[in-house]
């Protein structure tokens, strides 16, 4: 049974995590790759591949490959669970980087200047919108959520109204239609949180925050998007706390 130790996985940096993600997603192929082959597949140096193996507790790539060959499946937790943890760790680190930090600061300023905030989302994003509104309200930011895209928005057009749009795909028709209506007002201020940057929702937003996780769909219903929403929860809570820091 293949059993990577979570504590060791957490020590991987961004490049090493890309090697680890590749191994998890290509276990059969990885068993037969040389260290140079693996490095070329992931577009990293052979030294990075070797460090990854060492950090995972092996004596180099050959030792890791031997381990993969003599074990047939991952035990205890599924592959995508590991991938989500690694991706979330990398994402949380990226928030502190200058480029992303500028977007976060802009979003925080919009929240601080808003009198009240409306969250909009459908499906799973609708549930997250409800969570966001409750969390913001509990921390002292007047907020409410809308799961019906046709519901009227209190104070539409007011300069102190902020709308926060949650949409994993960034292309949901009803959400896009609502955003276009909002954009008819010159004063409209919109923060959106989407998985990818180049979407219709992101382009209609004042500030767009993305998390760029691997998209996952349900095997039970191929139309259902199962992309993890952990980064959305993290962003909502971080924004709420930053917007209320030093608030008199």
**Extended beta strands in the chain, E state:** 116-120, 143-146, 161-166, 190-194, 207-210
Domain boundary among 46, 62, 93: 93
Residue 104 has pLDDT above 60, yes or no: yes
Whether residues 15 and 118 fall in one domain: no
Angle at 15 between CA 14 and CA 21, to 5 degrees: 85
pLDDT at 223: 56
Average pLDDT estimate for 104-130:
94
Q: CATH no. for residue 12? A: 1.10.10.10
Query: What is the tens place of the pLDDT at every residue in 154-166?
Result: 655 567 899 999 9
Domain boundary among 53, 74, 93: 93
Whether residues 148 and 28 fall in one domain: no
pLDDT at 163: 95
Q: Which residues pair with 144 in a beta bridge?
A: 118
SS3 content of the chain, % helix, strand, coil (to 5): 50, 10, 40
Domains: count for the chain: 2
Nearest of 131, 194, 207, 200 to residue 163 by alpha carbon: 207
pLDDT-derived band of residue 224, with 50, 70 and 90 as boundaries?
low
Structural domain boundaries enclosing 147: 98-244
Whether residues 134 and 234 fall in one domain: yes
In this structure, which long-range contacts are made by residues 213-218, counting pairs with CB atoms below 8 Å and at least 24 apart in sequence? 213/84, 213/87, 213/91, 214/83, 214/87, 216/80
Whether residues 46 and 117 fall in one domain: no
pLDDT at 75: 45
pLDDT at 210: 93
Whether residues 16 and 35 fall in one domain: yes
Whether residues 78 and 180 fall in one domain: no
pLDDT-derived band of residue 219, with 50, 70 and 90 as boundaries?
low
Q: Is 1 contained in some domain?
A: no
Nearest of 87, 91, 80 to residue 17 by alpha carbon: 87
Average pLDDT estimate for 27-53:
92
Domain boundary among 27, 60, 93: 93
Q: Is 230 contained in some domain?
A: yes
At 68 the three-state DSSP class reads helix
Average pLDDT estimate for 49-66:
90
DSSP 148-184: STTSPPTTTT-TTEEEEEE-SSS--HHHHHHHHHHHT
Bigger pLDDT: 86 vs 190: 190
Whether residues 129 and 222 fall in one domain: yes
Q: From CA 73, how far away is CA 68, in angstroms rounded? A: 9
pLDDT-derived band of residue 235, with 50, 70 and 90 as boundaries?
very high
Residue 92 has pLDDT above 70, yes or no: yes
Whether residues 82 and 109 fall in one domain: no
By percentage, how much of the chain surpasses pLDDT 70?
A: 83
At 95 the three-state DSSP class reads coil
Q: Is the dihedral of CA 156, 114, 119, 146 positive or negative?
A: negative
Highest mean pLDDT: which range of 14-23, 46-55, 81-90: 46-55
pLDDT at 39: 93
Whether residues 73 and 102 fall in one domain: no
Whether residues 11 and 113 fall in one domain: no
Q: Is 10 contained in some domain?
A: yes
Whether residues 52 and 143 fall in one domain: no
Whether residues 139 and 221 fall in one domain: yes
Q: Is 189 contained in some domain?
A: yes
Average pLDDT estimate for 184-193:
88
Bigger pLDDT: 223 vs 232: 232
CA within 13 Å, CB half, 85 = 16
């Amino acid at each position: 049974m293949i059993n990577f130790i979570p504590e060791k996985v957490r020590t991987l940096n961004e490049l090493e995590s890309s090697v680890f993600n590749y191994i998890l997603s290509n276990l059969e192929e990885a068993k037969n790759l040389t260290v140079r082959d693996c490095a070329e597949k992931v577009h990293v140096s052979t030294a990075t591949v070797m460090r990854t193996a060492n950090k995972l507790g092996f004596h180099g790539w050959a030792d890791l490959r031997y381990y993969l060959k003599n074990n047939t499946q991952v035990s205890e937790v599924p592959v995508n669970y590991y991938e989500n943890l690694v991706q979330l760790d990398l994402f949380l680190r990226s928030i502190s980087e200058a480029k992303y930090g500028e977007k976060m600061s802009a979003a925080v300023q919009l929240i601080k200047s808003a009198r009240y905030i409306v969250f909009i989302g459908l499906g799973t994003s609708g549930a997250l919108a409800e969570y966001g509104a409750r969390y913001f309200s509990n921390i002292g930011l007047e907020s409410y959520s809308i799961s019906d895209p046709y519901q009227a928005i209190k104070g539409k057009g007011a300069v102190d109204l902020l709308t926060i749009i949650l949409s994993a795909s960034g292309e949901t028709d009803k959400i896009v239609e609502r955003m276009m209506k909002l954009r008819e007002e010159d004063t409209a201020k919109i923060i959106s949180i989407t998985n990818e940057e180049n979407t219709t929702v992101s382009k209609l937003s004042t500030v767009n925050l993305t998390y760029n996780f691997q998209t996952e769909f349900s095997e039970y219903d191929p139309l259902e998007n199962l992309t993890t929403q952990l980064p959305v929860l993290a962003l909502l809570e971080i924004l709420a706390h930053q917007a209320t820091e030093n608030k008199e």
